[in-house]
């Protein structure tokens, strides 16, 4: 199941929203590669990009949170760290096992759904806080 960018995912912060769109596109690319039986190397490259870009994006978010003294910074940072562990675990399993149906399902649920829920529940709070501090 592909993920679609919708209005309720917008935080109002251009940088964060742009990066979220890129993450969602990377997840969709991965799901597409897995479901269409594309080469293992393509799937691995997509997961590697996702793992790297997630770190970049979270770093950008955390810089903004610190700059604007987001009061729940430590908890938000822990959510990011836990998510990175999940993505790294999926990447390791993918390299070992290949693109299995089970792994595709995990990407969908553990990566895609987590990201969508995180944006809606957590990142919108960060964006609202930043707007009140500007």
pLDDT in tens, 70-122: 999 999 999 999 999 988 998 888 888 877 777 777 777 788 888 999 999 99
| Nearest Cα residue to 80 out of 118, 109, 23, 25 | 118
- Pair of tokens at residue 28: 């969709």
* pLDDT single digits (tens) 32-73: 877 777 656 667 777 888 889 999 999 999 999 999 999 999
- Provide the whole-model pTM: 0.84
Where do the structural domains in the chain lie, given as residue ranges?
Answer: 14-133
The CATH class of 14-133 is mainly alpha
């Amino acid at each position: 199941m592909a993920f679609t960018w919708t209005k309720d995912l917008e935080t109002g912060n251009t940088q964060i929203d742009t990066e979220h769109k890129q993450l969602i596109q990377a997840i969709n690319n991965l799901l597409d590669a897995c479901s269409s039986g594309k080469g293992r190397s393509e799937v691995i490259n997509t997961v590697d990009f996702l793992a790297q870009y997630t770190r970049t994006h979270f770093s950008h978010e955390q810089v903004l949170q610190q700059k604007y003294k987001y009061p729940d910074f430590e908890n938000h940072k822990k959510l990011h760290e836990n998510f990175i562990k999940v993505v790294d675990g999926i990447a390791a399993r993918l390299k070992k096992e290949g693109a299995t149906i089970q792994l595709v399902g995990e990407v969908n649920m553990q990566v895609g759904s987590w990201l969508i829920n995180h944006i809606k529940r957590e990142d919108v709070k960060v964006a609202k806080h930043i707007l009140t501090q500007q």
